[in-house]
Amino acid sequence: MAVMAGKTALLELFKQEGVKIVFGNPGTTELPLMDAFAAEQELRYVLALQEAPAMGMADGYAQASGHLSVVNLHAAPGLGNAMGMLYDAQQAGAPILVTAGQHEQRFNFTEPLLWADLPVIARPFVKWSEEVRQLSDLPRAIHRAAKTALAPPMGPVFLSLPGDILTASEDLDLGQPTRVASGIRGDSSAIAQAAALLAKANSPVIIAGDAVPQGNALDELVALAEALGAPVYDEGMATRTMFPSSHPLYRGALVRLPPAIRGMLMQHDMLLSVGADLFTLSLPDEVEAMPEGMPIIHIDTDAWELGKNYPAKVAILGEPKSTLPELTAGIIKARSAVEAQRAVTRLAHVRTEGISSLAKLNAMAEALSERHPIHPLPLMQAIGRMLPANAVVIDETVSSGNGLRRFLKSDDPQSFFGMRGGGIGWGLPAAIGAKLALPDRPVVALIGDGSAMYTIQGLWTAARENLQMVFVIINNYSYRILKQRTNAMKGLAAQADNYVGMELDRPRVDFVSVARGLGLTAHKATTLSEVQDLMKAALRHDGPTLIDVEVDRSWKPV
């Protein structure tokens, strides 16, 4: 044990937990921490210009690295600014230690400026929320927070750090980190029951969720899907690469609307959900997404998700990586010779169907490639074709990304990241966090114009850190998805063709000037050939580049 100041102990504890970067935007309650950074040689402090981008960066870093990420916020307003991005992090299961500076405890009973009960504010969006009230508890608090954030199902945690805890000094035992082993194997009897049911299925379908890439189980899921001869869909809010996009069994992400989901499921007689939500929907509907009587086998690392909305024939709590091999072997063992041959025939059919559907999608994109302004579908196709195989794509296209997942070369768990929570503004800063976690891989962020304006300050951090990455603004000068959904209501707006608060064209945001003002190289593209030329140059450029792509503004169904 040694006498140590709280601020110094905090940084040492971060290092014990494997932290490399602290994201933040400091204020007066963070000054002791910033003072400690003045003498720190190992930890890196990455400055954001507002707390929402800081949180988004921490989220992207946590997901891309798989390690604990730390973000430091400024008192009540700072935590408030970050709450939308904290919600997204919670939904994505990102292991983030969220800290916020708090006034000295002797001062707090007076309710000073910027004070609030911070753990109460954070609690709905984190796994654990607390305030450190004495310096001797700081090591235990940090180790408990890190262990909890990284334990399955992973997710953010919160600690309020009063100023007197950081400025005080005493004899401290820093303790040691604890990690909860994550390879939870599902119950063998339940796996055998699931295998027997799947062996007899005539037309099974798989929906894959983020538990697959989080546990690095893509190979295991491929082996299972091939044994079953089943097509594989991503859950509706796809966070990661749930299944290799180049595989002919892959069908892309579910549409988040009940009629579309029901229509797909009606073609099958059994649903296997591997770490997927059933279902995160965008809008209610008179039609139920799940067909009546559809047998469900559900595997997840989170018991809350099992049978949450629809009863499962078999519900298995387990990690896909350790559970799927036993399930695959059980299916092969359980089926008869006739059932085995049926699976072989089904596999060939589903492969052919996948190749054909992708060919049709490519043909559709090529038929639209001469449209001006650029149609989003051929834009997604062009981007997918020009990106290197090791590229990392961050997707917040919202309404313009149709076909993107099938066009991309995303075959590893770190090749694609999407907005799981749905709170817009996530993609731009998350891409910065992903680049900091994966510095040797090309990172390309595809961001809608409306989304970009929520966290546009993040561009400054990309320039400050001189990150070699590309931001592509998919610009239709509107909140297109809101216009689509308002129109679908068939109400007053549709009758008058007047969509209030959804146009971003008076004035149009000059993203090129904004980006240049924040230190980036920036260009505007109005044709596919310009996009391709600018993208090639951006991928070679030593620093961040923004490309503002003007796309077709049409949105009404034909």
Whether residue 150 is contained in a domain is answered as yes
374 with 305, same domain?
no
Tell which of 355, 382, 402 closes a domain: 355
Supply the pTM of this predicted model: 0.96
**In this structure, are 529 and 460 located in the same domain?**
yes
Helix or strand or coil: residue 220? helix
Mark whether 159 and 229 lie in a shared domain. Answer: no
In a domain, 437, yes or no: yes
Of the residues 120, 144, 172, the one at which a domain ends: 172
Number of domains in the chain: 3
Question: Quick one: pLDDT at residue 483?
Answer: 86
CATH number at residue 143: 3.40.50.970
Contact 360, 392 (CB under 8 A): no
The number of residues in the chain equals: 558
pLDDT for 104: 92
In-domain check, residue 360? no
57 and 135 together in one domain: yes
User: Do residues 136 and 75 make contact, with C-beta atoms less than 8 angstroms apart?
Assistant: no
Identity of the residue numbered 404: L
Within a domain: 98: yes
Query: Cα torsion for 233, 235, 237, 242, to the nearest 10°?
Result: -70
Mark whether 328 and 206 lie in a shared domain: yes
Residue 178 in domain = no
Q: Are residues 343 and 402 in the same domain?
A: no
Give domain status of residue 183, yes or no: no
Q: 154, exposed or middle or buried, with CB in 10 Å at 0-12, 13-18, 19+?
A: buried
Which CATH number goes with the domain that contains 317?
A: 3.40.50.1220
According to DSSP, the β-strands at 545-550 and 129-131 are: unpaired
Domain of 125, in residue numbers: 2-172
- Residue labelled with tokens 């998700």: 305
Q: Examine the domain organization and report whether 153 and 213 are in the same domain.
A: no
343 membership: H or E segment, kind and range = helix 337-367
Q: Which of 302, 330, 355 is the last residue of a domain?
A: 355
Find out whether 239 and 256 touch, Cβ atoms under 8 Å: no
Residue 167 and residue 193 in one domain: no
Same domain, residue pair 168 and 194 = no
Cα–Cα distance, 367 to 29 (Å, whole number):
58
385 and 499: one domain?
yes
* Mean pLDDT of each 10-residue bin along the chain, 558 residues long: 91 98 96 95 97 98 97 97 97 97 91 93 98 97 98 96 95 94 94 98 96 95 98 90 95 90 96 94 88 96 95 97 98 96 97 96 94 94 94 92 90 94 94 98 96 97 98 91 85 89 90 98 96 96 97 77
Q: Are both 133 and 278 inside the same structural domain?
A: no
Both 373 and 242 in one domain: the answer is no
Structure tokens at 299: 């595997």
- Would 87 be classed as within a structural domain? yes
